[in-house]
Amino acid sequence: MNIPLLTSRFLSEYTRRPLNLVLLAVVPVIFVVMAAQPIADFAELLGGAGGAGQRAALTASWAAAFLAGVSGYFHSLSSRSADRRLAAAGMGAGRIVTARLFSGLLLATAASVAAVAALWLRTGIEDPLKTAAVTLTFAVLYLAIGTAIGASVKNQVNGSLIVVFVWMLDVFLGPGMAGGDDWITRLFPTHFPTLVAIGSDSGHAGALGDIAASVLWVVGSLTVASIVFIRQTRSRALAAPSVRILRGSRLAAGLSAAFREQRRNTALWLLLFLLPIGFITLSFAVTPDTPAPVELPEDGNHTTIISMIDLHGAIMVPITVAFLAGLVGMFMVQASAEADRRLAISGFRTWEILVSRLGVIAGAAVLITGVSLGVTALDFEPTSWGLFAGANLLVAFQYGLVGVLVGSLLGRVGGLYMMFLLSFVDVGIGQNIMFSAAPPAWGGLLPAHGPVRVLVDSAFTPSFDTGAALLLGLGWMAALGIAAGLVFHRLTRGAT
């Protein structure tokens, strides 16, 4: 079987879930259309290099990089066993990996085209050829990163979190967002392409120049990814799954098994501990101490001036916990889908299985929220810690349930795209008090509106004026819980 035919077959695997292709086009459009101007303004506030149009153009590159990284990760991870069997059958690891990378490049190109088209429709493009080339460069770099991580990290939660963490560090510490030019930022994959995009000469690319340095990064990344992928694709014995018999009451046994299963995944809990530290510490590090207006619900809405550091410190916590708790909920349901169907056949009730999974998700949400609050306390002190902590925990629980819904309905690739989109649009834009004195009106239609209003109230005012918002948040959690239970029941009982 030749490489073009293999590439076609591998693309067919990806398109078996049409929603993956839809989201591959929709996510960059929504990201760029909704976020281009706010992110450009925020980057200017943080001291990002380049003009407003150039910073807005970078949103297309960032969106394409995220999508390509996720696609590359799951494209290599999901095919590991099949690729080893093909290699053992005589196809050869090199030929298989080449076809995988070609199919990944086509997906990265599709994400880049969608992102650039969205940018053109939203803001226009000053230099279309350069913007398209830089966006594709970002996508190919992260395709290589995602592929290398997918070939090395078999746990889908751990691997996807690593891809996201690399992307976050690269974006928020890079010259386009923070204007940074420390030696550490020069090691990030998109450092040189970003400088090319904003028309700024790095002065440290040597005789190569920034364009040649960017090309060298692309070639080097693809080479490393290919080597790692080939090593993992060579034939080897596959471990047989272990089976553990559950004893005791069904609910207690289910909870015990669910926690025991996740307790073995030490890397997951380490990542859930370290990622909030990285995200929130980073937000304080890059935010300047400049005044910004914010609308507070104290004795009727009024606008006051607060330090941007405090605003960023407060709002970064719900952004962090929403995405991470949602990701845990999504992968928890997907990883256990087959086992949960077998439990249903053996007599477990749907609510017993669901409570077992939700127990682990709630534990992860508490851990993520606790670590996030602990890191925040080093640089920011809300007026009321109890309400502030409770509001963030409510966001985490809400998005843990959103993750259950997304995980029950979508595949891994489409699910991760959707979780990124939902948490970013809801908490990152719809409730974000950093972009304007008051969030946009449409944000009131989304789940995190209630808890974030409570959070802002408890962070900056001495009295509690958001009882209605708290009830709204609890109502959203109840509705999400009912919806998750119904969907979960349909899926677990589908095998009987």
pLDDT digits (tens, 9 = 90+) for 214-246: 899 999 998 988 888 777 766 554 444 444 444
List, in sequence order, every residue forming a beta bridge with 305; answer none if it has no partner.
293
- Burial (Cβ within 10 Å: 0-12, 13-18, ≥19) of residue 277: middle
Provide the mean pLDDT of the chain: 77
pLDDT at 477: 92
Q: Determine what percent of the chain is predicted with pLDDT higher than 70.
A: 71
pLDDT at 326 over 80: yes
Higher per-residue confidence, 110 vs 173? 110
pLDDT digits (tens, 9 = 90+) for 59-90: 888 888 888 888 888 877 766 666 666 666 65
pLDDT at 268 over 80: no
pLDDT at 35: 67
Highest mean pLDDT among 117-126, 268-277, 334-343, 480-489: 480-489
Higher per-residue confidence, 309 vs 92? 309
Distances (CA, A) of 186 to 54, 179, 204, 217: 20, 12, 9, 12
One-letter amino acid at 413 equals V
Given a contact cutoff of 8 angstroms between Cβ atoms, the answer to whether 193 and 138 are in contact is yes
pLDDT at 253 over 60: no
pLDDT at 258: 52
For the segment 187-198, the average pLDDT, to the nearest whole number, is 85
Residue entry with tokens 């090319």: 196
pLDDT at 361 over 80: yes
**Residue 472: partners with Cβ closer than 8 Å, 6 or more residues away:** 449, 450
What is the spatial distance between Cα 374 and Cα 369, in angstroms, rounded to a whole number? 8
Tell me the two tokens of residue 451.
């808890």
For the segment 321-333, the average pLDDT, to the nearest whole number, is 85
**Residue 296: partners with Cβ closer than 8 Å, 6 or more residues away:** 302, 303, 304, 456, 457, 460, 461
Burial 68-87 (b: 16+ CB within 10 A, else e): bbbbbbbbbbbbbeebbebb
pLDDT at 452 over 80: yes
Domain residue limits, the chain: 1-236, 245-496
pLDDT digits (tens, 9 = 90+) for 240-249: 444 444 444 5
Tell me the two tokens of residue 446.
């989304």
pLDDT at 53: 66
List, in sequence order, every residue forming a beta bridge with 291; answer none if it has no partner.
307
Higher per-residue confidence, 311 vs 334? 311
As a whole number of Å, the CA-based R_g of the chain is: 23
Given a contact cutoff of 8 angstroms between Cβ atoms, the answer to whether 134 and 193 are in contact is yes
Given a contact cutoff of 8 angstroms between Cβ atoms, the answer to whether 217 and 189 are in contact is yes
Distances (CA, A) of 209 to 137, 165, 216: 16, 28, 11
What is the spatial distance between Cα 277 and Cα 282, in angstroms, rounded to a whole number? 8
Confidence band of 449 (pLDDT split at 50, 70, 90): very high
pLDDT at 437: 65
pLDDT at 238: 44
Higher per-residue confidence, 34 vs 149? 149
Q: Determine what percent of the chain is predicted with pLDDT higher than 90.
A: 12
Residue entry with tokens 């009882």: 467
pLDDT at 440: 81
pLDDT at 245: 42
For the segment 250-263, the average pLDDT, to the nearest whole number, is 54
Q: Spell out where 61-129 has E strands.
A: none
For the segment 113-124, the average pLDDT, to the nearest whole number, is 81
Give the 3-state secondary structure of residue 25: helix
